[in-house]
Structure 1
Amino acid sequence: MVNKGAQAPSIRILQRQINTKVSALSFDLDVPEIDCSLRSVLEDQGAIFQDTGPPVSFGNDDVAAAALDTGVVVVDRSHWGRLRICGDDRLKFLHGQSTADFLSLQPGTGCRTVFVNRNGRTIDLAACLVQGSGITVIVSPSRRVMISDRLEQYIFFGDKVEVQDISESTVLFTLAGPKSDDLIKALGAGSLVGGEEGCHAVFGAAGQPVVVSVARELGIPGYNIIASEGIGGDLWKSLVGQGAVPMGEVGWEQARVLAGRPAVDHELTDLYNPLEACLCSAVSVTKGCYIGQETLSKLSNLDAVKQQLWGLDLSAPASVGDEVSDGSTKIGIVTSIAQQRDGRPFALGYIRCRSKGAQVPLEGKRVTVGNADATIVTVPFATRTLTSQTVSA
């Protein structure tokens, strides 16, 4: 068991190159302690658990929220799914299974992509890392089995593709906040700073591989770290020792709502498509055939998106499912609720953005949500229009 007063392991960084031509780094950690499991480390740092899930809180929710605004937090997202797609046809395969253009990606790069059904409705938002011998796909916890089964279902005879679930053998940590770049620089991975979403490098720690990727999961500077489960505890201590403030699920949920990051069973359901969910940066409508492409292309070509995801700055509390109205007319529905840093209520909701055949501006519009007044506001995670890359990919 780790002593509560023990210092975090020191880190020494060595630059090298690996055969995928991706920059690689080496974390020379102190010798791992015996039985230094991730859960024991989290418990020593005050983690509060419910059953076998992730830490709900570290008893520091206000401190973590402040660190997200002015410093850096670290979140244990190891309960999220991690699938590895291998084989010579892996890029072509994922190209046809989700919304992003995989054929344009090279090792060391990555992207966000959306898994949709045949009607173009959302199943999950995933983060993908293209490596030399495989693609790592990070999916929502409740979609791990569903997406793995779906991918297996679409592997046909002759396809050189294999799907592996590496969730149980790895950990996933997310860094977020304005000082996350400083922490990454301190670890010797400054070459990642300013990189595109999904840009990543391979590390080594205690003889095990570690992958660090640019991941603005909350619409602000941040990184994802995937490592072997066996070194998860020591790696977590190292990050906290470098100044990252632990954040639990309560803090993550508040932060993702304020950022406008859509979540499964809230904003990502079979009622909505990724253009409505403001995930346009993850969608190509001209890359060629993929599941759901026909619907999304039609919506884009006709400029026919009728509703989009917005933030709602509320004057009083509201509930998921409350109607958003403009006078006496329903124009939307609330999908998620949170509190702002000062305690004021905030919501996410789908709002009708088309009237009489034309798109209408919504930012700053005053509306009613349940019994509360509200102002429609933009959220940092949202991308509302298809870029030249997503259109011409």
Structure 2
Amino acid sequence: MTGTDGSGTVPASAFASLPGAVVPELDAGVLPLVPLHYGDPFREQRELEAGRAIVDASDLGIVALVGDDRLQLLHALTSQDLAHLAPGESAETLVLDPQGRVEYAVRVVDDGETSWLIVDPGLAAPLAVFFDRMRFMLRVEVSDRSLEFAVVASAAEVPGLPVAAPTGVPLTWSDPWSAVVAGGWQYAEGAHPGVDRTWLESIVRRDALHEVAALVRSGSIGVAGSLAAEALRIAAWRPRQALDADERTIPHELDWLRTAVHLEKGCYRGQETVAKVHNLGRPPRRVVMLHLDGSDAVLPPHGAEITAEKDGEPREVGRVTSSAIHYDLGPIALAVVKRAVPIDVALSVRVGDDAVAASQQAIVPPGAGATADVPRLPRLGRG
């Protein structure tokens, strides 16, 4: 299976011809890269946040599970309680390895006949292979549908958007990040910016993307680039597998127990690690928000080294995972640092030969975990 048009090249995004579209050079991926912006990233952030713009997210992958046992398969293999997922209901779940490390972060919406899974670019094919190998005698058919369907994202429902609905149930995934889901747990303390996040990922037929772009040309809806979407995501402390996770990530480090893990469900791969770290241990790393010095107008790339002074020498304490310039907060980043890094320590981020000063805002605090030692607080529901 390939994503080319037969000529050996990846077709351009349907949004690439919109006025002002700035698209990165095509890489060797299966699906087209999406526009970064359309000339004014800050305005695009505001329009997107207000629900007046859409984002081309057609680089995301889509896997379909069809059959009477599809939810049983998902429930058995992943971290979320999905056994009774209702048609049209959205969920987030994780596929973990036996040591509890994140292999796939999956958005799920079911239409009563098919479970539609949305994943970050490049992950649909291996995820489909994984589920196909694990279905054994279950009545489930697995397929990568990324070449037939695509995702359009927004912060509000968009009139006229041709959302796919094969069974009459619109295939729109609603991000649960605005609240701690039933069975979940939040390590972040105090006010959480995620409570204000609304985010919808609507599945449309890929051949209908030109129709979606026509809505923008007609003025029916505005458009924003991927940079705007990333800035809003980072400001909401929302983790994304493609950028914020690596081969060592466990869910606790990114506060992913908030929406993607059900702590009271039965056995699944990696559950022992999830339970031990949450109840008895501490995650070895933790995610933080960095507020960056913007005086040099330098934004650190993914993987940039973070250092702190110790005994007069800079020591590496973590890495930047995502960064953006937010229209209100300025230069910000998500980063994963060692658990023991003090919250009030001065940090520097290496960008080439420069060192950018950064202040740390704890998302997962140093004391996260070991909940068996503290009073158990009531968890929030779906709100």
Structure 1 distance, partners of 2:106, 2:85, is: 16
List aligned pairs for 1:303-342, cutoff 5 A. Answer: 303-315=281-293, 317=298, 318=300, 320-325=303-308, 327-328=310-311, 331-341=317-327
Give the match for residue 332 of structure 2. 346
Higher strand share: 1
Structure 2 distance, partners of 1:61, 1:203, is: 29
| Paired positions, count | 325
**3-state SS of 1:346 partner:** strand
Give the match for residue 3 of structure 2. none
Give the match for residue 264 of structure 2. 286
Structure 1 distance, partners of 2:380, 2:67, is: 26
Structure 2 distance, partners of 1:48, 1:373, is: 30
Letter in 1 for 2:357: D
Structure 1's 72 and 306: CA in aligned 2 closer, same or farther, altered over 3 A? farther
Which of 55, 70, 80 aligns to 1:75? It is 55
Give the match for residue 174 of structure 1. 153
Give the match for residue 228 of structure 1. 205
Give the match for residue 184 of structure 2. none
Structure 2 distance, partners of 1:353, 1:239, is: 45
List aligned pairs for 1:24-103, cutoff 5 A. Answer: 39=13, 42-49=16-23, 50-51=25-26, 52-103=32-83
**3-state SS of 2:287 partner:** strand
Superposition TM-score, scaled by structure 1 size: 0.71
Superposition TM-score, scaled by structure 2 size: 0.73
Structure 1's 238 and 275: CA in aligned 2 closer, same or farther, altered over 3 A? same
Structure 1's 58 and 151: CA in aligned 2 closer, same or farther, altered over 3 A? same
| Preserved CA contact (<8 Å) 1:307 1:350 | yes
| Preserved CA contact (<8 Å) 1:307 1:352 | yes
Give the match for residue 189 of structure 2. none
% identity of equivalent residues: 22
| Preserved CA contact (<8 Å) 1:324 1:334 | no
Deviating 4+ runs (over 4 angstroms): 37-42, 201-205, 207-210, 216-219, 239-243, 316-319, 326-331, 384-391
Q: CA RMSD in A?
A: 3.6
**3-state SS of 1:266 partner:** helix
Which of 110, 122, 131 aligns to 2:102? It is 122
Measure how far apart 1:44 and its partner are: 3.8
Gaps of 5+ in 2: 1-10, 27-31, 179-193, 350-354, 372-376
Give the match for residue 122 of structure 2. 142
Gaps of 5+ in 1: 1-36, 190-200
Give the match for residue 144 of structure 2. 165
Measure how far apart 1:93 and its partner are: 0.6
| Preserved CA contact (<8 Å) 2:77 2:95 | yes
Measure how far apart 1:118 and its partner are: 1.5
Measure how far apart 1:202 and its partner are: 7.4
